[in-house]
Structure 1
Amino acid sequence: MHSKSKIIMVTVASVILGLWAIVTIIPLYWMIIGSVQDTTLSATYKPQMIPSIWSVAPFERFFSKTSAWRWLFNSVFISAVLTATNVFFGSLAGYAFAKLKFPGSKTVFWVLLSTMMIPAQVTLIPLYVLIINVFNLGDTYTAIILPGAVSVGNIFLMKQYMSSLPTSLIHAARIDACSEFGIFWKVILPLAKPGLAVLAIFTFVTSWNDFFWPFLITSSDEMRTIQVGLASFVFAESTDYGAIMAGATVGALPMMILFFSLQRYFLQGITIGAVKG
């Protein structure tokens, strides 16, 4: 009787999850279908879920009417730089908080963690004024990258991961007269590759999908990322649904490829911060 009720519960849960997955996938499916059919079919009252006429014209219009290649370059460049800075500085700070003992380390760590409780919207205006009026960096790569060069969340993630690494290896390296940075570079980083991979993937995805800060800090078309460019294209070409969906597909495709090729690292990211130090 117990096994039968368990089977029923598993079946019901599977059905619910399956239905929820279908509901979640429908917008993504419609975006892709809308990008490979004529605009008139995309905007009809009864849209065709399986298009009768396939066309790449929406992609041609999207790339011809916009600076899409420049937007893609900006997104790749900014996401790559932010990933590199977060991996380096996040792992460096995580190693310091996890394995080094210095005065006030716990206080500094908890102060950093407390900043995660402050909504980003609260600091948005001071940050904008600082970047624009004080440093005069508006509409530049530096303005987009600098505020996100390293995040407290990534520091916390690496601190939790590096707390699980054996301290005996660090003591052995110190006996061999290895410098602290040498220990970090030659001993800690090779052992922390799984954690660094998760950190890099999540940072790249977050940076690629970021919209509000690049939208706020950029003013010229050539400095826009693909997400900001899509928003401006929507306002400029509000009736060209096919081209809009083609642009959305172009912006989402790299992340879909990244997810399906590296999905085991995404799953690791769910539990990587739960290791016991």
Structure 2
Amino acid sequence: MKAQSQLNMKKKFNRSSNKKWFHELSAFKIIATLLLILSALFFVFPFYWIITGAFKAQVVAITIPPEWFPLKPILDNWVTLFSNPVWRWTFNSFFIASSEMIAVCFVSATAGFVLAKKVFPGRKLIFIVLIAAMALPKQVILVPLFTMLADFGWVDTYKGLIIPAIGWPFGVFLMKQFSQTIPNELLEAAKIDGCGEIRTFWHIVIPMLKPALGALAIFTFMLSWNDYFSQLVITRSTEMMTLPLGIATMQGEHKTDYGVMMAGAALASVPMIVIFTLFQKSFTQGITMGSVK
């Protein structure tokens, strides 16, 4: 009887402990969900403010307290925006960002694979120089870069805006780290089956690097699209301006039309949202694979 009583007390204690743990876990989930919702609203609100501000008159846009939703939406801001060569600026931004994205992914994949899987003299030294280059901000090398572009005659050209960004050290570093996860036995089996270097790289290495390439594509496109400082230095004519640069020129010296600026910002955000949506799955896989490694 005494043993049975102790067993019942133990079961009751376990049930109460499990019940208490379940309630604590539920409370944690509720708090975590609320924090995630608040964080999401915090990051989405600026985008909401840009979209609604694009349909507000100048007087309403600077009113305090603010008008959280446009009660009398207008299209004048969009008409003013498209009275400028916006389509030309959009084409320039998309062409430059897309070209950089494709070129950076290809060069980074080849260079990263070579540094990870090929043995040759100076490989470690090249990797050290690559890491050191990642520590240099772009502003430090912008003056000598501009001098080189001027000597080549590439100022205010697509070549001057695209080619300097192709050898991105971070892209090579990222591809090298992912290339190290490719089994050597797989490459040796491909070589035994008669695959050359190019065929092995294209049919075996590239498919295995797709998650990392998706993440790199998003990073490259967004950085190129928002690279205001370099584009400001290299471009000269209105026809070669990118969308962020062109929108910035519409800001007056003594007056800023916030409605037009917000309309331009809303237009400039569309391609980045589309690119992220297209590569979202690969981006997520690339980040998680890196964390597991």
Q: CA deviation at 1:137?
A: 1.6
1:152 maps onto 2:169 in alignment: yes
Of 57, 61, 76, the residue aligned with 1:57 is 76
- Closer, same or farther: CA 125–144 of 1 in aligned 2, 3 Å: same
1:108 maps onto 2:92 in alignment: no
Do the aligned partners of 2:212 and 2:283 also contact (CA within 8 Å) in 1? no
1:81-107 C-alpha deviation (Å, 9 max, x unpaired): 101111111100111012111122122
* 1:201 aligned partner: 218
* 1:231 aligned partner: 248
TM-score (normalised: structure 1): 0.89
1:200-229 C-alpha deviation (Å, 9 max, x unpaired): 222112211221111111111111111111
CA distance in 1, matches of 2:253, 2:194: 63
* 1:30 aligned partner: 49
1:43-82 C-alpha deviation (Å, 9 max, x unpaired): 2223211111122221111011x21111000011001110
Report the number of matched residues.
274
- Closer, same or farther: CA 265–36 of 1 in aligned 2, 3 Å: farther
- Closer, same or farther: CA 25–238 of 1 in aligned 2, 3 Å: farther
Of 207, 210, 235, the residue aligned with 1:218 is 235
| Greater gyration radius | 2
1:124 maps onto 2:148 in alignment: no
CA distance in 1, matches of 2:267, 2:43: 19
1:100-132 C-alpha deviation (Å, 9 max, x unpaired): 111221221122112112222222222222222
CA distance in 2, matches of 1:224, 1:151: 22
Ranges in structure 1 where 5+ consecutive residues have no aligned partner: none
* 2:14 aligned partner: none
* 2:114 aligned partner: 96
CA distance in 2, matches of 1:147, 1:18: 41
Q: CA deviation at 1:167?
A: 1.8
1:78 maps onto 2:96 in alignment: yes
Do the aligned partners of 1:157 and 1:273 also contact (CA within 8 Å) in 2? no
Instruction: Name the SS of the counterpart of 1:153 in structure 2.
Output: helix
* 1:136 aligned partner: 153
CA distance in 1, matches of 2:110, 2:254: 46
Ranges in structure 2 where 5+ consecutive residues have no aligned partner: 1-19
Letter in 2 for 1:97: L
1:263 maps onto 2:288 in alignment: no
Letter in 1 for 2:70: P
